């Protein structure tokens, strides 16, 4: 099908428009024999997959009308307002469907500790042959490469490893870290002046790494940076 994927701030729709939009959307979606379609919930900042559940036409309409994600509970056979009792609400940031129109992708802002009923941030925390109990200490979900890099750096900070370059920088404090940021920034400028794409990318990566070391040293998470960038997206243009 050549229908374009959808992405918008659906939580801004008024109820009447949401009902009309949902009805138009439903015409393109391929629900199963039970009138359901799987929905993947993805974190709006780092792209991590948080959970998978089911939606029907009513759940989609309520989600669009309220801006808070509603699913269909197959076990209870009723509409499920995610987080209504636990406080782990999901604010809809965007919605797309795949090329076959039989799976939804929800971009969401997760409130509270996480999406999983165990207290884990994501339902996808298992990687070994033996299931665990999940919870707040569960393995975090795979995310974008910068988020994964920040996790490694924070891991070195919290559990130093002998011979680690990251730990050497952290031990040197601001003097060592900021000196490297200055050096890498100058090298990035020169790479841009030379118009060398490979070197520009390499020096940019060096800046990101050393910047994240500085963030970890000062106890500022990479997610805080992502949140600032997200807040600035769509902000009034600077004069």
- The rounded distance, in Å, linking the Cα atoms of 209 and 207 is 5
Whether 226 is covered by a domain: the verdict is yes
Q: How many C-beta neighbours within 10 Å does residue 221 have?
A: 15
CATH assignment at residue 61: 3.10.20.810
Q: Residue 13's pLDDT is what?
A: 55
Range of the domain at 176: 145-232
98 and 34 belong to one structural domain = yes
Q: Quote the tokens at residue 179.
A: 């000196």
- What pTM was computed for the model? 0.84
- Please calculate the CA angle 175-178-181 and round it to the nearest 5 degrees: 150
Q: Hey, is 160 helix, strand or coil?
A: coil
Whether 237 is covered by a domain: the verdict is no
Chain-wide mean pLDDT for the chain? Answer: 91
- Angstrom distances, CA of residue 130 to CA of 125, 127, 133, 134, 190: 12, 8, 10, 12, 51
Domain total for the chain?
2
Whether 123 is covered by a domain: the verdict is no
- Please calculate the CA angle 108-110-116 and round it to the nearest 5 degrees: 110
98 and 155 belong to one structural domain = no
17 and 68 belong to one structural domain = yes
Q: What digits encode the pLDDT tens for the residues 53-94? A: 999 999 999 999 899 999 999 999 999 999 999 999 999 999
Q: What digits encode the pLDDT tens for the residues 135-144? A: 988 999 999 9
């Amino acid at each position: 099908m050549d229908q374009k994927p959808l992405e918008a701030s659906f939580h801004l729709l008024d109820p009447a428009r949401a009902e009309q939009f949902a009805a138009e959307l439903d015409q393109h979606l391929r629900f199963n024999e039970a009138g359901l379609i799987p929905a993947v919930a993805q974190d709006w900042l780092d792209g991590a997959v948080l959970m998978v559940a089911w939606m029907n036409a009513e759940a989609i309409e309520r989600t669009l009308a309220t801006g808070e994600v509603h699913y269909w509970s197959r076990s209870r056979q009723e509409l499920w307002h995610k987080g209504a009792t636990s406080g782990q609400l999901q604010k809809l940031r965007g919605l797309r469907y795949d090329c076959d129109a039989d799976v939804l992708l929800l971009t969401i802002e997760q409130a509270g500790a996480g999406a999983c009923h165990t207290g884990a941030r994501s339902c996808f925390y298992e990687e070994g042959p033996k299931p665990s109990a999940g919870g707040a200490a569960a393995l975090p979900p795979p995310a974008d490469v910068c988020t994964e890099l920040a996790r490694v750096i924070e891991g070195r900070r919290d559990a130093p490893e002998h011979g680690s370059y990251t730990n050497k920088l952290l031990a040197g404090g601001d003097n060592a870290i900021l000196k490297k940021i200055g050096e890498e920034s100058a090298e990035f400028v020169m790479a841009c002046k030379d118009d060398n794409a490979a070197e520009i990318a390499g020096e940019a990566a060096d800046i990101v790494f050393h910047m994240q070391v500085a963030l970890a040293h000062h106890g500022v998470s990479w997610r805080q940076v992502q949140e600032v960038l997200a807040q600035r997206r769509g902000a009034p243009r600077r004069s």
